[in-house]
Amino acid sequence: MSGVRTSLPSRAQFEERLFGVLRRVVIAFLALITLLPFCYMLLLSVKPIDALLLNPGQLWVSAEDFTLSTYEEVLKPTSEGGQGFVHMLANSALVSLGAVVLTLLAAIPGAYAVSRLNFFGNRQVSVLFLAVYLFPATLLAVPLFVMFAKMGLQGSLVGLAIVYIAQTVPVSIYMMKNYFVTIPYSIEEAAALDGCTRLQTVRKVVLPLAAPSLMATGLYVFMIAWNEFLFALLFLAAQPEKWTVSLGLQQLANGVEVSKTVLMAGSVVLTIPVVGLFFAAERLLTEGLTSGADKS
Amino acid sequence: MSTTSPTPSSAAPASADSVGATGSGRKGRGPGSRRPDRRPLTGAARENRAGLAFVTPTFLVVLVVVVLPILWTVLLAFQRARLVDIQSMGLFGNWSLHNFTGILTSPGFWTSLWTTLLYTVGSTAGSVVLGLVAALALRRPFRGRGLLRGSMLLPYVAPVVAAAFVWQIALSPQFGIVNEWGGKLLGWDDPVAFLSTRSYEVSLLGLHFDVPLALLTVIAFETWRYFPFAFLFLLARLQAVPDVLEEAATVDGATPTQRFRHVLLPQLMPVIALLCVLRFIMTFNKFDDIYLLTGGGSGTDVVAVRVYDFLTARFDVGAAAAQALVLAVVLMALLGVYFKFFAKKVEEEA
């Protein structure tokens, strides 16, 4: 083969073959590192602790070892000797949904204005919205901690949802802005000619058209809020009945003797809602997040 | 700004009002309008008003939940504030540089800042490089690509608490799968305590040197958790590169490495630069990953964890605020250097 076309440098052939093999190796490696930890989590959650200690390297669970008592312990309310994760799931859902609603309400007008309207200070405001990212969560944590302590909101789930706005508004504005600019301006002009005020145009024309972007943004906010840990720890640690799942799980790990398999069952309970939601809307989400990236 | 933006308390109705200007401006031309001595607003002026009206609610929210707290942090950093005193303390008063002198002279802070820098650079480089490799590998279709693409996002989507505990258990010296298999397959003599070993002696080719094992482990965790983020952006950009570019290069006899270096990389460079900046900012302030994995022990004491310790263990709000502030200033300085000297270069190369 190689003798037929001597003009083709053998280096190219060699590289083609090398990268062909490397590509498979990389793909296998990626599948391994992304899937294995989660399979391991699932596996340990249905094992009794003795089986784990006896044979830590085992990658399967035998039929006689299989148990769901770990889940039972995690989900049962604290009054019945469990860990009360059902209640925490409700708390997490409440905070996350609250954060979604509040963030969208706060971010939509700004995203629309920045993407559509030419007003005095537009650029400065856009920069400010993105600059929020520069400020570390730790910088916000100190005053918010003190402020909430002063206002007596410490330990309130609503307060936590409000704090999450700070974490989610910049990325929300960015995502929605990228979508708003793709909506043809002529549609808005048509609405204005038909006698819509600006507010009506936004409500009845722009927002319905931007529904996919709003969904994606909302989902992303939900994920951030559901997974958040630092602020939950700062605000809620003293009140077990207000714990979110993330916080509850961490406190469980810190607390009195809890077996590792129960901890893994808790991790599965924490992970499943957000991962399930993500896969249900994967396309929407990845496109919403990266829609600006290929335009750079 | 102050003339047109409504007051905070009346933000919602006011915005609806001035938005209506679009409609009333047209009516204003006729006689008997509200302000007969004024010329009707031009289109630009109306748009200006509408823009300000729309941006005001968002601006106020950002002001209240982000800007004001940060300004307060700055104030707190210059006061001797402990949590118990806060209730009685005024906003101003008792200015001192006590917090800063205390922090800047304590040796713990400087090692912690250095650790933060190592951690950030390592994790940023790691996640962007792994993301790039993944994007290149998954660029062309193959069976099961969609599935793998989805599963690759798992580490990024999964809650940090759950991910950290899985790593903790998998790396545990007593019952972790990594040590078990390392002993069986790779012949490790003793189990390795990945998350609690400050420095681990490695001998390679007769040379002995110490590696900061716990720090490397948290860098690996951070790389693992955030490479999907880089992967997503890079894959989107890669798929927007026109095929003809590469085909032309192939016809001209360019090898795969040459095609990557001279065709793809220049196209990807702006996204790579953006990703590096984003990841750098995020990781520099990262708290939860390290707190959950090591608690800040064994040479992984980053500044964010120190701030938390000062706040919750010592209740020293002033010192915590000062450290967070110094961290932010260092970050700004680093970004300033980047944008002044390097951002242009990346743009030119692209």
Distance from CA of B309 to the nearest CA of A (A): 11
When divided into structural domains, chain B yields a total of 2
From the list B57, B66, B240, which residue is nearest A132 (CB)? Answer: B66
Q: Which three-class secondary structure state does DSSP give residue B4? A: coil
Its domain, for residue B222, covers: 102-349
Check pLDDT > 50 for residue B117.
yes
- ipTM entry: 0.84
- On whether both B309 and B218 belong to a single domain, the answer is yes
The full set of domain ranges for chain A reads: 10-74, 76-295
B317 in the same domain as B256: yes
pLDDT for res B200: 76
Best of B5, B65, B282 to substitute, by most chain A Cβ atoms within 10 angstroms, is: B65
Q: Does A251 touch chain B (CB under 8 A)?
A: no
C-alpha torsion sign, points A104, A106, A107, A113:
positive
| B214, B327: one domain | yes
B154 and B23 fall within a common domain: no
Decide if A53 and B240 are in contact by the 8 Å CB cutoff.
Answer: no
Q: Hey, what's the torsion of the CAs at B58, B61, B65, B70, to 10 degrees?
A: 70
- Does residue B86 lie within any of the structural domains? no
Q: Is B58 part of any domain?
A: yes
Q: Are residues B50 and B123 in the same domain?
A: no
Q: Is B84 a domain residue?
A: no
Whose tokens are 């989590």? That residue is A41
Residues B147 and B194 both lie in one domain: yes
- For residue B184, tell me if it sits in a domain: yes
Which of B166, B186, B327 is most worth mutating to test chain A (most A CB atoms within 10 A of its CB)?
Answer: B166
pLDDT per residue over B118-134, tens digit each?
999 999 999 999 999 99
Interfacial A residues in 42-81 facing B (CB < 8 Å): 44, 52-53, 56-57, 59
Q: Report the gap between the CA of B206 and the closest CA in chain A (Å).
A: 30
Among A104-118, B29-43, B300-314, where is mean pLDDT lowest? Answer: B29-43
- Please tell me which residue of chain A has the smallest CA distance to B281: A134
Contacts of A289 in chain B (CB under 8 A): 232
**Residue contact B134–A40, C-beta within 8 A:** no
Q: Is residue A279 within 8 angstroms of chain B, CB to CB?
A: yes
Which of A24, A102, A105, A142 has the most B C-beta neighbours within 10 Å, making it the best mutation to test the interface with B? A142
Are B128 and B276 within one domain? yes
Residue B82 in domain: no
Q: Is residue B285 situated within a structural domain?
A: yes
Cα B207–B212–B216 angle (5° rounding)?
115
Shared domain for B170 and B112, answered yes or no, is: yes
Is B176's pLDDT higher than 90? Answer: no
Q: For A30-81, what is each residue's pLDDT tens digit?
A: 999 999 899 888 888 888 877 777 777 777 777 777 778 778 877 877 777 7
Number of other CB atoms surrounding residue B100 within 10 Å: 17
A234 with B312: Cβ contact below 8 A: yes
- Domain A76-295, CATH homologous superfamily name and number: MetI-like (1.10.3720.10)
Distance, in angstroms, between A205 CA and closest chain B CA? 15
Q: Nearest CA of chain A to the CA of B304: how many Å?
A: 6
Q: Which residue of B has its CA nearest to A198?
A: B19
* Shared domain check, B140 and B246: yes
**Cβ separation of A141 and B308 shorter than 8 Å?**
yes
Chain A residues within 8 A of B331 when measuring between CB atoms: 134, 136
The whole-chain average pLDDT of chain A stands at: 81
From chain B, pick out residues whose CB is under 8 angstroms from the CB of A113: 50-55, 58
| Domain co-membership, B61 together with B202 | no
CATH number at residue B198: 1.10.3720.10
CA B12 vs CA A17, A98, A106, B53: distances in Å: 64, 20, 11, 9
Q: Per the domain annotation, does B156 fall within a domain?
A: yes
B40 and B141 co-located in one domain: no
**Of B26, B59, B75, which residue constitutes the final position of a domain?**
B75
DSSP string, A160-224: HHHHHHHHHHHHHHHHHHHHHTTS-HHHHHHHHHTT--HHHHIIIIIHHHTHHHHHHHHHHHHHH
| Conformational region of residue B212, where left means phi above 0, alpha means psi within -120 to 50, and beta covers everything else | beta
Q: Does one domain contain both B71 and B181?
A: no
The pTM of the full predicted model, rounded to 2 decimals, is: 0.82
With a cut of 50, say whether residue A192 has pLDDT above it.
Answer: yes
Task: Label residue B3 by pLDDT band (50, 70, 90).
Answer: very low
